[in-house]
Amino acid sequence: DMQYAQQGHSPQNSTEQDRELRHQIRRLSHHPAIVMWDGCNECHVIMNTSTGIYASFVMTVVAQEDRSRVVWPSCPASGWTGGVNTLTSIPNGKPLTTPVGGPRFETHGPYDWGSGFPAINGHQGENDPLNPLIPLSSLGGEPVGVDKPNVFASEFGCTVMSSFESMSPTLDQAHWGIHGGEPVGPNNPMMQRNHPCDNIIVGYFGNSSDLGQVGVKVFQKNLWQCMIGQALNMKQRIEVRRSKNQFGIIVWQFNEIWPTGGWGSIEYGTTGWTSGQVVGGRWKPLQYWFSKTIYTDVMATCSPSTVAGNLTCFVANDGARPFTGTLAISTVVFATGVVRSIASQELNMPAGAGVKQWFTLPTSPIDGASEILHAVVQSTAGKTVNDNWIPLTSPKNMKLAAATVTFAVASAAGIDGTIAVTVSANYFALYVTLTTLAQGRFSDNAFCMPPGNITLSFLPFDGFELAELRSSLRIEHAAMYVSPVV
C-alpha cells in the first residue's frame, strides 16, 4: 500500500507528494519481497470520485517509476479497465482507469475477532460464542476454472495469542494468565494485549472456568488452546474457500509485531531484546498446517454429505502442473487407534489453478466424537503431497484416550545438521505440539498421532544450542486439556 489513509490522510496531486512517491518507489523497487504496488487499503478506487486520485495520480506515478511489477488500484478493488495488461496487471504506459461501477471481486473478511474479555481490541459480544465451523459446510456450489467468475480473498483472519515461551517473559509471574490475574482495570496488563481469546477457547474446547486463573500450567494450557482454535478456524474457512472458485486466499496476518493477542501464524521474531523469542518467529500450529495441508498445491478434504451415510470429498489442484496419484480416506478410532479404510480413489487432474475432482463416498456412520477422518494424497511416485486430519466435531465434544506422549532428543546432529526428535504415544494423540526455547523449528508440529513412534527433525537456526533444545523442550496435546474417557 502507498503511504496514505482515508479520513484526512488522502493524497493530493502536489509536487512534494509526487517527489515522495518517486523516491519511495526507487528506494524499494529492488527488494525481491515486493510483488505488487497497491494504491490504498480499504478505500475502493473509482474514477470520478474522491478516490479516483489514486488511479489518476498515485498509481500513475508508481507505474512510471516501476513498469516491471503488478499495480493495483486499492484493496479491495474492482480492478482496472485500462492502463495495464489485463492478464498480468503490469502497466502498459496508457492512462490507468477503473470501472465506475460493478462488483468488487476482491474481498476482505470475515474476521473472527476475539471477545469475552475487555482487552484494548476486545470486541465484546461479537462472535461469542465462536462458531467452530465443524464439520465443513457449503462446499463447492459454483462453476470453477480460470475462465469463470472468481474471487480474490486478500485479507481475512482469526485472533490468536502466542506460546507461553513468547508471552511469559513480557509479564510478571503474577500475571501469567489469559485474564492477567487482576480485576478489570488499568493495572491489568492482559487488557493491553490487543485481542482476547476467550470465545475461541470456549468455542473449540468448552469449559471456561479456568480463564481467570494464573500459573505456568494454566497459562500454557489456555495459550495452546487459543493457538489450536485459530488453526482450526482458519483450516475450516480456507478449505471451504478452496472448494470454490477463489484464486487468492491471503490471510491477515503473517507474523506478530510483539507478544500479544494478534492475528499472526508466526510469533514475534526479534531476538536479543525480549527473551523467549525465536529469530524470525516461532511457528504457531497454523503455520505448520499451512505447510502440511491447507496451502499445498494439491489438497483434499471431506465433509458429511446431506445424504446420510455418505461423505462428500474433493481434491483441488492449484498447481501449475497436471497431477496423477491416489486419494486414500480412512478413520482412526480415538480409544483404540484402529484404522478403518473408507475408500481409495484414482486422481488424474489437469494443471491448475481451479481444478477440482469431487467424490461421493458411501460409508457407515462416522461418529466424530469417537473417531477422526484422515485424507492422504500421494503422487504416482509415492510421495505424500497432502496429509489432512479432518475433525467432524470440536475437540470439546471428542472422547479422547488418556494418551501418554513422550519424546527423546538425539545426542548429536545428523549429517544434514538437523536434530532427530522421536515422539512416542500409547494411544491416539490429538494435535501433539512441541515447543522449545531453542533457535529453530520442527519439520512437523501440532500433528495427529496414532499409537506408536514417529521421528521428527528440528531444523536449527543461528544461535541454536543442543543443550537448550534438550532442557527446554516440552510437549502438549488435546487429552491433557480435555476430559479423556480412556
Q: Are 279 and 463 in contact (CB under 8 A)?
A: yes
Q: Find the distance separating the first CA and the last CA of the chain, reported in whole Å.
A: 53
As a whole number, the mean pLDDT across the chain is 93
Provide the 10 A C-beta neighbour count for residue 407.
14
**Quick one: pLDDT at residue 307?**
66
**Quick one: pLDDT at residue 362?**
86
Helices (H), 96-253: 164-167, 198-205, 216-242
Using one digit for the tens of pLDDT, what is the confidence trace for 426-481?
999 999 999 999 999 999 999 999 999 999 999 999 999 999 999 999 999 999 99
44: left (phi over 0), alpha (psi -120 to 50) or beta: left
CA 77 to CA 40: how far, in whole Å? Answer: 10
Q: What share of the chain is helix, strand, coil (3-state, %, to 5)?
A: 20, 30, 50
Measured in whole angstroms, the distance separating CA 35 from the mean position of its chain's CA atoms is: 20
CA 28 to CA 22: how far, in whole Å? Answer: 10
Q: What are the angstrom distances between the C-alpha of 135 and each of 39, 212, 300?
A: 38, 30, 15
* Nearest partner of 112 among 76, 152, 156, judged by Cα: 156
Torsion (CA) 382, 384, 385, 389 in degrees, nearest 10: 150
Using one digit for the tens of pLDDT, what is the confidence trace for 136-183?
999 998 999 888 888 889 899 999 999 999 999 999 999 999 999 998
Torsion (CA) 433, 435, 441, 445 in degrees, nearest 10: 0
Higher pLDDT pick, 120 / 411: 411
What is the number of alpha carbons within 13 Å of residue 281 lying toward its C-beta? 17
**Quick one: pLDDT at residue 127?**
66
3-state secondary structure of 23: helix
Please list, in sequence order, all residues whose beta carbon lies within 8 angstroms of the beta carbon of residue 232, skipping any fewer than 6 positions away. 132, 133, 134, 204, 391, 394
Sheet with 310-317, edge to edge strand ranges: 298-304, 310-317, 355-362
**Quick one: pLDDT at residue 120?**
87
Please list, in sequence order, all residues whose beta carbon lies within 8 angstroms of the beta carbon of residue 143, skipping any fewer than 6 positions away. 149, 245
CA 284 to CA 197: how far, in whole Å? Answer: 15
User: 238 — phi, psi (to 5°)?
Assistant: -75, -35
Residue the block writes with cell 472448494: 243
Using one digit for the tens of pLDDT, what is the confidence trace for 311-366?
999 999 999 999 999 999 999 999 999 999 999 999 999 998 899 999 998 888 89
CA 483 to CA 478: how far, in whole Å? Answer: 9
Torsion (CA) 282, 287, 291, 293 in degrees, nearest 10: 150
**Quick one: pLDDT at residue 377?**
98
**Quick one: pLDDT at residue 106?**
85
User: 467 — phi, psi (to 5°)?
Assistant: -60, -35
97: left (phi over 0), alpha (psi -120 to 50) or beta: beta
Using one digit for the tens of pLDDT, what is the confidence trace for 175-225?
999 999 998 888 899 998 899 999 999 999 998 789 999 999 999 999 999
pTM for the full predicted model? 0.94
**Quick one: pLDDT at residue 306?**
66
Please list, in sequence order, all residues whose beta carbon lies within 8 angstroms of the beta carbon of residue 185, skipping any fewer than 6 positions away. 191
Residue the block writes with cell 489438497: 299
Using one digit for the tens of pLDDT, what is the confidence trace for 266-308?
999 999 889 999 999 999 999 999 999 999 999 999 999 766 7
CA 302 to CA 316: how far, in whole Å? Answer: 12
CA 24 to CA 4: how far, in whole Å? Answer: 13
